[in-house]
Amino acid sequence: MEYDKEVMKRLQNFSPDLCLLAGYMLIIGEEMCQKYDMINLHPALPGGPVGSWQEVIWTLVKNKAKETGVMIHLVTPELDRGPVVTYCTFPIEGEPFDRYWREMEKGEQNKRDTLFQLIRQYELAREFPLITATLKAFSQGKIKIQNGEVVNAEKKSISGYNLTNEINQIVKAKLK
């Protein structure tokens, strides 16, 4: 991939410990994935929908999902499917969502759009706190990347560090 080669050329004088992609919107090739430890912000739960935030939300609405979240995963050439580093979850049922789900079922198109925007608002409220909490976990040695795996402080492989409680506290404090 020519773009990847240009990025690596521009980074050749640097030795980053970790690269964070947020809103990057490009698939990274194998060579770059092997050269750098990179993490990516993705607006879905582990194993959830892939693609842009718009595609993810429309998939959630279409599938009548009850829960979603935000995750950070290792960057691999496979779109949005690298090993999970951190994540947080939140319900998209109950208040304030149920009203829009019901009205959407009645065929009110504008309620579908309102539901879409509401889900995005809840995702956005969690994205920056998750980035910050993830970088903090790395800096404190709670998680590391080792040979393409996410490991905890005891160097045991983990399938994602659940930061839901921490992120929910931050989000609630912001909304007060």
In a domain, 160, yes or no: yes
13 in a structural domain:
no
> Pick the residue with more confidence: 19 or 107?
19
State the pLDDT at residue 97.
Answer: 94
Buried b (16+ CB within 10 A) or exposed e, 68-101: bbbbbbbbbeeebebbbbbbbbbebeeeebeebb
* Residue 63 per-residue DSSP state: T
Q: How many residues does the chain have?
A: 176
In a domain, 3, yes or no: no
In a domain, 4, yes or no: no
Give the count of domains, the chain.
1
Instruction: Specify the range with the lowest mean pLDDT, choosing from 4-8, 27-31, 98-102, 139-143.
Output: 27-31
Q: What is the pLDDT of residues 42-80, one digit of tens each?
A: 999 999 999 899 999 999 999 999 999 999 999 988 878
**Cβ neighbours around 124 below 10 Å, total:** 12
Which residues lie across from 105 on neighbouring strands?
none
**Can you tell me the distance from the alpha carbon of 49 to that of 46, in angstroms, rounded to the nearest whole number?**
9
* 114-168 tens-digit pLDDT: 899 999 999 999 999 999 999 999 999 999 999 889 999 999 999 999 999 999 9
- The confidence score (pLDDT) of residue 45 equals 95
Domain encompassing residue 154 = 20-175
Q: Tell me what pLDDT residue 108 has.
A: 64
Residue 44 lies in a domain: yes
Residue 126 to residue 120: CA distance in whole angstroms: 10
Q: Tell me whether residue 25 is in a domain.
A: yes
- The answer as to whether 118 is a domain residue is yes
- The predicted model scores a pTM of 0.88
Q: Taking residues 18-26, what's their average pLDDT?
A: 83
Residue 10: inside a domain: no
The whole-number pLDDT of residue 125 equals 95
Please check the confidence at residue 110 and state whether its pLDDT lies above 80: no
The CATH number given to whatever domain includes residue 148 is 3.40.50.170
Q: Is the pLDDT of residue 176 over 60?
A: no
